[in-house]
Structure 1
Amino acid sequence: MKNSKSVYLIAIVASLGGLLFGYDTAVISGAVGALESFFVNTLQEDSKMAIQAIIQFKIVLTACVVVVGVLIASFIYKFYKKSTATVIVAILFLLIGVVYYLGFLKGANVLTDNLKNSIFGFMISSALVGCIIGASMGDKVANSIGRRNGLLLSAILFIISAFGSAYPDTLNVFGGTTLTAFMIFRIVGGVGVGLASMLSPLYIAEMAPANIRGKLVSFNQFAIVAGMLIVYFVNYFIASGQTEDWINNIGWRYMFLSENVPAVLFFIFLFFVPKTPRFQVMKGEEEDAVKVLSGLNGQSKAQQILADIKKSFKQKNGHWLFFGWGIVIIGVLLSVFQQFVGINVVLYYAPEIFKGMGMKTDASLMQTIIVGAINMLFTIVAIFTVDNYGRKKLMLIGSCVMAVSMIGLGFSLYLQSSGVVSLLFMLVYIAAFAMSWGPVTWVLLSEIFPNKIKGVLAVAVAAQWLANLLVSWTFPMMNNNAELITLFNHGFSYWVYGVMGVLSAFFIWKFVPETKGKTLEEMEMLWQSKKENN
C-alpha cells in the first residue's frame, strides 16, 4: 500500500507538468480581447510605433522561421543520407526563403488590416513556436540533465513567462517594443510547455509499475484538460464584475500572473520526487536506481526490472525509414488533422467567439467554463472507453460529429441564428473531440510506432505543434477579414474546419490500422508485412 501511494503521489506531481501545459495554452483565451486592445489597436493611433512594431515583428518572425527550419532540417537528416539530405534542405531553404521574402519581408511597413490581423494572430499563438522548440529538444534534455531536472527547467521557464507576459513593459530587457517583449516571453513559456508535453508522460511511464502504467500516464492527459478548466475559472473570477477598461489595462496581467501559483508549486514539489531509474542507470548510478525501484516495486522485483532496463539499452534503433514512408506519413497526418479540425481555435478564442454572438465579457467567460467542463468530462469518457470500443471507431465517430458540428456552427453564424444554437454546435464539437481526437491521437501515436523507430514520434509531435501554430495564427486572418465577413458573416473559417473533419474521417477509415489489443511486436509485424508487400 505504501509503495502504491508513493507511485500515485509521484504521478500526481509529474502530472502538474501536464496541468501547466493546459493552463499556459488556455490562459490566453480570457485575455484575447484585452491583448488586441492593449497591443494591436494602439498601433493604429501611433504610426511611428506601428512602423517600429512591424519591423520588429518581421525580425521575430524571421528568427522563428529560421529556428523551425533548422529543426525540420535536423529531421530530414534522420531520414536520408547526408548528401541527399543536404540537397533537399538546400532546395527547401531556397524555395521557402524566396517565397517568404517576396510574400512578407519585402512588403511595405504599413499597418494594413491583413498585417494587423497577422500580428494579432501571431501574438496569440506565439507560445506555440516555443512549444515546437521545446518538444523537439525534449529528448536531448531528458538524456542530458534527466527527466526530473528537465521538468524543473520547464517550471522555471513557466515562472519567467508568467511574470514577463504579465508585465512586458516593466520587464522588457530585449530593447524592443512592449509587443515584441510580450511575444518573446510567451515563446519562453512555450518552450516550457513543449518540454513538459514530452517529459511529464515520459517521467510517469518510467516510474510507474507496468500493471498501472496506462492508468498513471492517462493522469497527464486528464491534468492537461483540468489545467484548461482551472484557468477558465481563474479568468472568469478575475474579470467578473470589472469594467472593460480595467480588464483591457490591468485584468489581463493578473490572468498571466496567476500561472505562477501552479508553476511555483510544481517547482517545489519536484525536489521531493526522485530521478527515474532508467536515467540513473544511463548515468551509471545503479545503486540509486535500485533504491528507487525497490521503493516503488518492492525489493523482489527491483533486480529484475534493473536487468530489463540494462538490456533495453543494448537494443539497436533502426533507420527512421526502416518500415518505409507509410507509417511516418500516417503518424504526421494524425498529428496534423488533430489540429486542422480547429480545436485550438475554440480553446484559445472561445470568449471572443461568444462575444461575437452578442454576449458580454462575463457571460462569454462563463460559457468558456462550460466548454472546459465538457472537454474534461468527455476526456474522462474516452479514457474509460478507448480500450473497449477501439481507437479507429472512436476516431471515425469523432470526425463525423465534428464535421457536422463545425459546418452547422458556420451556418448558424452565417444565418445569424440565436447564440444558443451556435453554443450547442460548439459544445457537441468539443464533446466529440474530447472523446476521440483529443486523447486517442496520443494513444495511436504511442502504439503505431514500433520501438525500433520510436524516434519518429518526435517528428509527429513537432508536426502537431506546427499545425497548431498555423491554425491559431490564421484564424484571426480569416475571421476578421472584412471581405469574408461581408460574404459569410464569420461562418467561413468554421466551414474550413468542417471540411477538415470530413477529410480526417476518410483518412482514418482508409489508412489508419486498428491498434486495440495489439502488442508493439504485432504492430511491428504489421508494418513489416506492408513493407514487404509494397
Structure 2
Amino acid sequence: MNSTKINKNSIYLITAVASLGGLLFGYDTAVISGAVGALNDFFISDLSNDVVAASSAITEFKIIITLCTLAVIGLTASFILRFYKRSTAYAIITALVVLGGAFYYYQFLTLPPVLTENLKNSILGFMVSSALVGCIIGAAAGDRIANSIGRRNGLLLSAALFIISATGSAYPEVINIFFGSSLTSFIIYRIIGGIGVGLASMLAPLYIAEMAPANIRGKLVSCNQFAIVSGMLIVYFVNYFIVKGQSTEWINTDGWRFMFLSENIPATLFFLFLLFVPKTPRFQVMKGKETEASNILAKLNGPEKAQSILQEIKGSFNVKKAHWLTYGWTIVVIGILLSVFQQFVGINVVLYYAPEIFKGMGLGTDASMIQTIIVGAINMLFTILAIFTVDNYGRKKLMLIGSVVMAISMLGLGTVLYSQGSATMSLLLMLLYIAAFAMSWGPITWVLLSEIFPNKIKGVMAVAVAAQWLANLVVSWTFPMMNNNESLTQMFNHGFSYWIYGVMAVLSALFIWKFVPETKGKTLEEMEHLWQKNKTE
C-alpha cells in the first residue's frame, strides 16, 4: 500500500511540474493586458512628434511583418505538402506566394512612411499580439523538438525562452541586440516568449499524458488547462498589485517593466524543477533506452505492470500513419473551423485588453485592474465546472449553449456601449460572456480536437492548432484598429467590434448545430467509422 502511495505522489509531483508550463502559457499571454496603455504611451505616442523616428519605426515594422509573414507562409507550405502530391502542392504554393505577395506588396509595403491613426493602432495591436507569431512557430516546431531532444528537454527550452523574453521585454532598450529601435526589440522579445508558449502548449500536456497511468490520465491532463487559466488569474493579481496606488506617469515609465519582469519567478522555478523530473518512457523507447524506460514505468506504475506497458509503447510505434486526406476534407475543415471560431468569438480581446476596455467604460486604473481580476476568476471557476460536466452533458450541447449565450452577451454589450448605457450592465454582460466561453468553447474545443481525429491522421491536429494561433493573432491585432478608430467610435461608441464578435458567435452556433458530431461516449474506432462512412456517402 505504501508503494502505491509513493507512486501516486511521484505522479502528482511530476504533473505539477509539467503544469507549470501551462501556467506560464497563461501568464505570458495575459501579462500584456495590464501594460497596453503604458506601451502605447512609451513606444508609440511620441512618434507623432518626431517624423524621423516615426519613419524609421514604420520601416522596421514593415520588415518585422514581412519576416513574420514569410514564417507563416513556410508553415502553410509545409501543411500543403502533406495534403497533396508534390507537383500539385508546389503549384498551389507558387500561386499563393505570387498572388499573396502582389497583394501584400501593393497594399502594405508600398504605403508611405506616414504615421496615420490606423497605422498607430496597427502597431499597438501587433505589439500586443506579436507573441502569437512565436506561438505559431513554437507549436509548429513542437513535434520535431519533442522527437529530437525529448519532451522534458523541450520544456526546459521553453522555460529558458520565457526567462529571456521576460527580461528582454522589460528592458528592450537596454538589452537591444537586434540592431533596431526599442520598439522592434520589444516585439522580438515578445515573439521569443511566444515560441516558449507554443512549445509549452504542446509539450506540457504531451509530457503529462505519457507519464500518467491510464486510469487517471484524463484528470491529470486536464490539470494543464486549469493551470493555463490559473496563470492568467495570477498575472491579473500581479499587475494589480504593481499599479495599485501608483501614478499614471510611473506606470508608463516603470510599472509596465515590473509586469514583464515578474514572469521570471515562475519561469525560473519551472526550469529548476524540470531538472529533477525524468524523461518520458515513450521517448526513452524511441531512443532505444528500454532499461531506463522500464525503470520509470516500474516506479510510476509498479513492477508488475511495467513490462506490459512497455510492450504497449513498443507496439504503438508499429501503427502506420495514413495520408491526411484519408477521410476526406470534411474532418480537416471541421477541425480548422473549431479552432478559428474559438478565437473569432473574441475571447482573447477580453483577456488581453480587459483593463483598457474597462477604462473605456469610465473606470480608473485600480478599478479596471480589479474588474480584470474578476474576469480571470470567472474564467477559472467556469473552466473547472466545464471539466467536471463535459462527460455528463456532452460536447455538442455545451458548445451550442455557449455560442448562444456568447452571442447574446456580445450583441448586448455592443448595444449598451452604443447607447452609452451603464458600466454595470457592460460588466455583467462581459462576465456572462466569459462564463459561457469557459463552460464551452474554451476547454471543450480541445476535447473535440483530441477526439474527432483518428489516430492514423492525428498529425492533422497540428493544422488546426496552427489555425487557432493564427486566428488569435488576427483578432488580437485588429481589435485596436476597430476599437480606437475615431470614425467608428463616433458612430458606434466602441460597440462595433463587439457586434462583430456577437455575429461570429451566432455563426459558431450554426456551425456546431449543422456540422459537428457528438463525440461523447464514442470510441476513436467509432469516430473513424463515422468519417469513413461520410466520405463514401
Q: TM over 0.5: same fold?
A: yes
Instruction: Write the mapping of 1:155-166 to structure 2, written as runs, cut at 5 A.
Output: 155-166=159-170
Measure the CA separation in 1 of the matches of 2:141 and 2:342.
22
User: Is 1:250 the equivalent of 2:254?
Assistant: yes
Measure the CA separation in 2 of the matches of 1:96 and 1:469.
18
Matched residue, 2:111 = 107
Matched residue, 1:263 = 267
Shift of 1:486: 1.1
Matched residue, 2:363 = 359
Shift of 1:47: 1.1
Matched residue, 1:309 = 313
Shift of 1:36: 0.5
User: Is 1:428 the equivalent of 2:432?
Assistant: yes
Give CA-to-partner distance per residue, 1:242-287, whole Å, 9 cap, x none: 0000000000000000000000000000011100000000000000
Higher mean Cα deviation, 115-124 or 467-476? 115-124
Counterpart pick for 1:285 among 286, 289, 301: 289
Matched length: 533
Matched residue, 2:19 = 15
Equivalent AA in structure 2 for residue 486 of structure 1: Q
Measure the CA separation in 2 of the matches of 1:256 and 1:386.
35
Equivalent AA in structure 2 for residue 247 of structure 1: I
Shift of 1:531: 1.1
Matched residue, 2:352 = 348
Aligned-pair Cα RMSD in Å: 0.4
Shift of 1:515: 0.4
Give CA-to-partner distance per residue, 1:178-236, whole Å, 9 cap, x none: 00000000000000000000000000000000000000000000000000000000000
User: Is 1:6 the equivalent of 2:10?
Assistant: yes
User: Is 1:323 the equivalent of 2:327?
Assistant: yes
Instruction: Write the mapping of 1:364-403 to structure 2, written as runs, cut at 5 A.
Output: 364-403=368-407
Q: Please report the TM-score for the alignment, with normalisation by the length of structure 1.
A: 1.00
Counterpart pick for 1:211 among 206, 211, 215: 215
Matched residue, 1:29 = 33
Q: Please report the TM-score for the alignment, with normalisation by the length of structure 2.
A: 0.99
Give CA-to-partner distance per residue, 1:37-63, whole Å, 9 cap, x none: 101111112111110000000000000
Matched residue, 1:499 = 503
Measure the CA separation in 2 of the matches of 1:518 and 1:204.
23
Matched residue, 2:195 = 191
Measure the CA separation in 2 of the matches of 1:292 and 1:126.
39
Name the SS of the counterpart of 1:272 in structure 2.
Answer: coil
Equivalent AA in structure 2 for residue 414 of structure 1: Y
Measure the CA separation in 1 of the matches of 2:491 and 2:168.
40
Matched residue, 1:528 = 532
Name the SS of the counterpart of 2:339 in structure 1.
Answer: helix
Give CA-to-partner distance per residue, 1:463-520, whole Å, 9 cap, x none: 0000000000000001111111111110000000000000000000000000000111
Measure the CA separation in 1 of the matches of 2:92 and 2:473.
24
Matched residue, 1:509 = 513
Measure the CA separation in 2 of the matches of 1:514 and 1:104.
43
Counterpart pick for 1:274 among 265, 272, 278: 278
Matched residue, 2:58 = 54
Name the SS of the counterpart of 1:175 in structure 2.
Answer: coil
Measure the CA separation in 2 of the matches of 1:452 and 1:426.
41
Matched residue, 1:226 = 230
Equivalent AA in structure 1 for residue 268 of structure 2: V
Equivalent AA in structure 2 for residue 156 of structure 1: A
Give CA-to-partner distance per residue, 1:424-479, whole Å, 9 cap, x none: 00000000000100000000000000000000000000000000000000000011
Matched residue, 2:422 = 418
User: Is 1:40 the equivalent of 2:69?
Assistant: no
Measure the CA separation in 2 of the matches of 1:471 and 1:161.
23
Equivalent AA in structure 2 for residue 308 of structure 1: E
Matched residue, 2:469 = 465
User: Is 1:407 the equivalent of 2:403?
Assistant: no
Counterpart pick for 1:451 among 439, 449, 455: 455
Counterpart pick for 2:70 among 58, 66, 73: 66
Measure the CA separation in 2 of the matches of 1:393 and 1:317.
32
Matched residue, 2:300 = 296
Matched residue, 2:157 = 153
Equivalent AA in structure 2 for residue 456 of structure 1: V
Equivalent AA in structure 1 for residue 201 of structure 2: S
Name the SS of the counterpart of 2:512 in structure 1.
Answer: helix
Which sections of structure 1, spanning at least 5 residues, go unmatched?
none
Equivalent AA in structure 2 for residue 336 of structure 1: V
Name the SS of the counterpart of 1:253 in structure 2.
Answer: helix
Measure the CA separation in 1 of the matches of 2:80 and 2:60.
30
Measure the CA separation in 1 of the matches of 2:465 and 2:516.
17
Measure the CA separation in 1 of the matches of 2:294 and 2:483.
57
Matched residue, 2:100 = 96
Name the SS of the counterpart of 2:326 in structure 1.
Answer: coil
Shift of 1:532: 1.4
User: Is 1:482 the equivalent of 2:486?
Assistant: yes
Q: Spell out structure 1 runs of 4+ moving beyond 2 A.
A: none
Shift of 1:527: 0.7
Name the SS of the counterpart of 1:321 in structure 2.
Answer: coil
Counterpart pick for 1:335 among 332, 339, 345: 339
Name the SS of the counterpart of 2:99 in structure 1.
Answer: helix
